[in-house]
Amino acid sequence: MKTSVIGYPRIGAERELKFASEKFFKGELDENGLEAVAKEIKSKNYKKQQEAGISFISSNDFSYYDNVLDTAVLFNIVPKRYKELGLSELETYFALARGYQGEKGNVKALALKKWFNTNYHYLVPEIDDDSEVKLVGDKPLKEYKEALSQGVETKVLLTGPFTFISLAKYTGEKKKTDFVDAFISEYTKLLGELNDAGVKWVQFDEPYLVRDLSDQDKELFKKIYTQLLAAKKNVKVLVQTYFGDVRDIYTALSELDFDGVGLDFTEGRKTFELVTENGFPAGKLLFAGLVNGKNIWRNNYAKTIDIIKKLKNVEGISDENLVLSTSCSLLHVPYSLAGEDKLPENYKKHFAFAEEKLVEIAELSKLADYAASSNVATVDSFKNNQALFASRDDSVDEAVKSRVASIKESDYTRLPEFHEREKIQKQRLGLPLFPTTTIGSFPQTAEVRKNRSQFRKGEITKEEYIDFNKKKIAECIALQEEIGLDVIVHGEFERNDMVEYFGEHLAGYVFTKNAWVQSYGTRCVKPPIIWGDVSRKEAITVPWSVYAKSCTDKPVKGMLTGPVTILNWSFPREDISIKESVLQIALAIRDEVLDLEANGIDIIQIDEAALREKLPLRKSDWYSEYLDFAIPAFRLVHSGVKPETQIHTHMCYSEFTDIIPAIDAMDADVITFEASRSDLQILDSLKENNFKTEVGPGVYDIHSPRVPSVEEIVASLTKMRERIDDNKLWVNPDCGLKTRGDEETKASLINLVKATKEIRG
């Protein structure tokens, strides 16, 4: 069988791109130096895939920050405020991604949003009435030639026009239909240039096709590709989908003149049914996404080969036109298990990161061919693979399973109801109008990271480690008191990551040394792995919160990560349901909540930053497959606390406007949202839905180094007051401050407090 990889990780096996980019931002590396690092990463990626024998390797899957941003720049979708800065091409690119504050101007970054149902974030293109859609770049062609010069023939990856147009934000009177013809024209021009350069295959990524599509959406897609495919000449075109099935558009994909169609057989619930019941058009290649590009467990060869056998019996499918593929880009998994020298072999053998998935694809390709005429069970690689699925006895904890089974319906309900609790809490806490606070974390300086690293390596004692963190907590609280914040946090200096830190204190988790995954730009995360049944081993945050409370007379927030986010930002098990996993974690965090309350912590924040992330992409599946257990799981965490204990939660960088009723049903007392990059759009939805919960929309963007002015924050608060009752409005940044520097953090928070006092006045 031929094989394909949709895309490959681009941060570098040792996060080389992250570190080089950060040096570039600081002026310690020039553009040539950054480009050299990028070339080296791409070269290694091509070589790995070539050595594995991958038939269809992608080029242009690399990006300095984000592929959607690359597409915007490629087609001149750069708002005027960035062009007017007069920066170099690369500096303008990063200004779009990170914002800019300097001698040439002061602009915010583009909005960040979650990429479909992943923890990756894309930058939302802004198209205004004056935007001129025009092919102005050559990145796709340049990267194709770069790979070819190394002896690697690639398919050129492009963000598809339908997905790009559908994800963009239109800031003027014109809508997406007003720009369609221009995009078709310029994509056609690009396709012509690639054809003239001898490119054999172009891959148009169209993940938007797995969403619910209206009749207008379907007609728009058909219009775009009817015209685009009519001009393709010799180059072959693959339309690649992922993250779900294409039930609304399968017929059109079959009828249009595509040379290949990529379908997700891993997350696409109806993909197999669509293909087997409707057949597949002869003459097209079916790129079958059977190797999971989002999770790290080994592929079950028996199940995959069985699907391949059944597909080969479908009308229109044969050995010649079936291509084994990843289900999505491998951007969403770590690079390689090679660096995991501290992970025991009995764990490691169950996992497959990007590099190992190349081996799986190669083995499956051979096994599938072999299975056509022989007994595949005689092949060693097959037998070894199957042995893995019968060797995880230590993943089961009967006590945990019993506790989940004994949850009662009343355990999901907190009493008294919100409106009564709200009065009790206002009287108890005595906070001013528009209470000011932060989301939780403060800057993780080199000094903080060094202390944690030295403790992990045994270079300092536990007492020295604790003493250092206590000193930082005391300094952080003193700083917040000096600034004038109303609700204090301890700064989270003990935490490496908001999920990994909790996982380290929970039974059932496995941790890696170097399994980094890109979240956005230079931000990388190292998701822990849920190996078995989860329970709390010990108090996790209580000692730090109790110490922080002893340092101030102001209210201190206890800071926790919620069960849905812990699950969504871990690599989940595949042997039990998501619902069972999230309830296990919810019970563990519930124990921590009750411990914090018992130790005098009156405000407890349970972050659910990733609640929206795993929401099914089709609305018809929202409740039956997710919200019906995700929302109750959150309520389970806090339902046991007293009325006077105030429960906060936080959510960021997703589209929340369509699930506002579900968020209100979480029954928290205060909810903070990311809102600064999205121009406070969520506020209208809150008002329309009569949102009962108190709310803190972020007043400035922490993912940018720029410091917001007092006037800017006052303007935001003024807009908020038009839609939110004064008695329900909190003032805070849009997310935690972990990735920011000390200087910019202090300056930003000083302006936040000044602006709040001005509004109070």
Interval 485-536: pLDDT, tens: 999 999 999 998 889 999 999 999 999 999 999 999 999 999 999 999 999 9
The answer to whether the CB of 59 falls within 8 A of the CB of 146 is yes
- What three-state secondary structure class fits 603? strand
Of 231, 234, 306, 232, nearest to 265 by C-alpha is 306
Spatial separation of the C-alpha atoms in residues 8 and 12, rounded to whole Å: 10
DSSP string, 227-270: HHHTT-TTSEEEEE--SS--TTTHHHHHHS--SEEEEESSS-TT
Q: How high is the mean pLDDT of the chain?
A: 94
Spatial separation of the C-alpha atoms in residues 56 and 146, rounded to whole Å: 16
In the predicted model, is pLDDT for residue 352 greater than 80? yes
Spatial separation of the C-alpha atoms in residues 364 and 3, rounded to whole Å: 10
Q: Residue-wise over 87-106: b if at least 16 C-beta within 10 A, else e?
A: beeebbbbbbbbbbbeeeeb
Chain Cα centroid distance, residue 196: 37
Spatial separation of the C-alpha atoms in residues 541 and 560, rounded to whole Å: 8
**Torsion sign across C-alpha atoms 369, 374, 375, 379:** negative
The answer to whether the CB of 124 falls within 8 A of the CB of 111 is yes
Spatial separation of the C-alpha atoms in residues 226 and 219, rounded to whole Å: 10
Phi, psi angles (nearest 5°) of residue 713: -70, -40
Model confidence at 563, pLDDT cuts 50, 70, 90, reads very high
Model confidence at 392, pLDDT cuts 50, 70, 90, reads confident
DSSP string, 366-398: HHHHHHTTS-GGGSHHHHHHHHHTT--GGG--H
The answer to whether the CB of 598 falls within 8 A of the CB of 641 is no
Model confidence at 87, pLDDT cuts 50, 70, 90, reads very high
- What crossing angle do the helices spanning 354-371 and 380-388 adopt, rounded to 10°? 120
Helix (H) or strand (E) holding 593: helix 578-598
Give the pLDDT score at 681.
72
Residue 444 tokens, joined: 């993780």
Per this entry, what is the length of the chain? 761
Rounded mean pLDDT, 677-689: 77
Quick one: 67 exposed, middle or buried, by C-beta within 10 A (0-12, 13-18, 19+)?
buried
**Residues forming a β-bridge with 264:** 289
Local structure of residue 149 (DSSP, 8 states): T
Q: Residue-wise over 159-197: b if at least 16 C-beta within 10 A, else e?
A: bbbbbbbbbbebeeeeebeebbeebbebbbebbeebbee
Of 422, 417, 415, 409, nearest to 648 by C-alpha is 422
Spatial separation of the C-alpha atoms in residues 626 and 482, rounded to whole Å: 43
Residue 77 tokens, joined: 């979708």
The answer to whether the CB of 234 falls within 8 A of the CB of 259 is no
In the predicted model, is pLDDT for residue 689 greater than 90? no
Summarize pLDDT for 188-208 with one digit per residue, the tens: 999 999 999 999 999 999 999
Spatial separation of the C-alpha atoms in residues 253 and 243, rounded to whole Å: 17
- SS3 per residue for 672-722: EECCCCCCCCHHHHHHHCCCCCEEEEECCCCCCCCCCCHHHHHHHHHHHHC
Model confidence at 659, pLDDT cuts 50, 70, 90, reads confident
**So which residues are the catalytic ones?**
703
Question: Which residue did the predictor score with more confidence, 136 or 394?
Answer: 136
For the ranges 72-76, 325-329, 381-385, 742-746, the lowest mean pLDDT is seen at 381-385
In the predicted model, is pLDDT for residue 677 greater than 90? no
Give the pLDDT score at 687.
86
Spatial separation of the C-alpha atoms in residues 392 and 350, rounded to whole Å: 9
Rounded mean pLDDT, 136-151: 97
Of 759, 650, 741, nearest to 698 by C-alpha is 650
**Residues forming a β-bridge with 168:** none
Q: Tokens 């790009």 map to which residue?
A: 164
In the predicted model, is pLDDT for residue 65 greater than 90? yes
Give the number of other Cβ atoms within 10 Å of residue 436's Cβ.
23
Of 170, 169, 157, 250, nearest to 202 by C-alpha is 157
Residue 581 tokens, joined: 């996993």
Of 456, 292, 446, 431, nearest to 726 by C-alpha is 431
Give the number of other Cβ atoms within 10 Å of residue 547's Cβ.
17
Give the pLDDT score at 653.
57
Helix (H) or strand (E) holding 740: none
Model confidence at 373, pLDDT cuts 50, 70, 90, reads low
Give the pLDDT score at 389.
86
Give the pLDDT score at 679.
62
Model confidence at 361, pLDDT cuts 50, 70, 90, reads very high
Phi, psi angles (nearest 5°) of residue 583: -70, -35
**Residues forming a β-bridge with 204:** 158, 239
Percent of the chain surpassing pLDDT 90: 87
Chain Cα centroid distance, residue 218: 27
Alpha helices, DSSP H, located in 406-528 = 418-429, 446-456, 462-483, 500-503
Residue 629 has, within 13 A of its CA and on its CB side, a CA count of 20
Give the pLDDT score at 703.
78
- Give Cα separations from 474 to 484, 493, 550, 554 (angstroms): 15, 11, 9, 13
Q: Which amino acid is at 527?
A: P
pTM listed for this prediction: 0.90
Give the pLDDT score at 440.
92
Spatial separation of the C-alpha atoms in residues 287 and 6, rounded to whole Å: 10
**Residues forming a β-bridge with 263:** 288
Model confidence at 75, pLDDT cuts 50, 70, 90, reads very high
Local structure of residue 619 (DSSP, 8 states): G
Could you tell me which residues come within 8 angstroms of residue 295 by beta carbon, excluding any fewer than 6 positions away? 333, 571, 572, 574
Number of separate helices (H) and strands (E) present in the chain: 29, 23
Model confidence at 656, pLDDT cuts 50, 70, 90, reads confident
Spatial separation of the C-alpha atoms in residues 51 and 617, rounded to whole Å: 36
Give the pLDDT score at 129.
96
Summarize pLDDT for 411-454 with one digit per residue, the tens: 999 999 999 999 999 999 999 999 999 999 999 999 999 999 99
